[in-house]
Amino acid sequence: MANQPYLSADAACDEPWDPKEGDVIFQSLPYGPVVLAIEGVTKSPYSHCGVVGQKDGQWIVYEAIGKVRITSLKEFLFRGRGGGFVVYRLREKHREHVPKMLACCEKYLGRPYDYRYQLDDESIYCSELIYKSFRDATNGQQLGELRKFGEMNWRPYETLIRQIEGGDVPINREMITPRDLARAKQLEPVFSHRLSIELPIEHPIEKAGEKVMP
**What is the domain partition of the chain in residue ranges?**
19-196
Between the alpha carbon of residue 141 and those of residues 20, 23, 117, 127, 172, the distances in Å are 21, 18, 20, 15, 22
Q: What percent of the chain has pLDDT over 70?
A: 86
Least confident of 69-73, 147-151, 195-199: 195-199
Distance of CA 37 to the CA centre of its chain: 15
pLDDT at 205 (0 to 100): 32
- Nearest alpha carbon to residue 184 among 97, 102, 106, 91: 91
- Provide mean pLDDT across the span 143-172: 97
- Provide mean pLDDT across the span 172-191: 97
**Helical (H) or strand (E) element with 32:** none
Cβ–Cβ under 8 Å, residues 126 and 50: yes
Does residue 76 have a pLDDT over 80? Answer: yes
Distance of CA 190 to the CA centre of its chain: 15
The predicted-structure confidence for 90-137, as pLDDT tens digits, reads as follows 999 999 999 999 999 999 999 999 999 999 999 999 999 999 999 999
Please give the sequence-ordered ranges of beta strands (E in DSSP) within the chain, or none if there are none: 24-27, 48-55, 58-65, 67-72, 85-90, 147-148, 174-175, 187-193
Q: Quickly list H helices, the chain.
A: 33-42, 73-79, 98-107, 126-137, 158-165, 178-182, 204-207
- Provide mean pLDDT across the span 24-36: 96
Task: Write down the architecture of domain 19-196 according to CATH.
Answer: Alpha-Beta Complex (3.90)
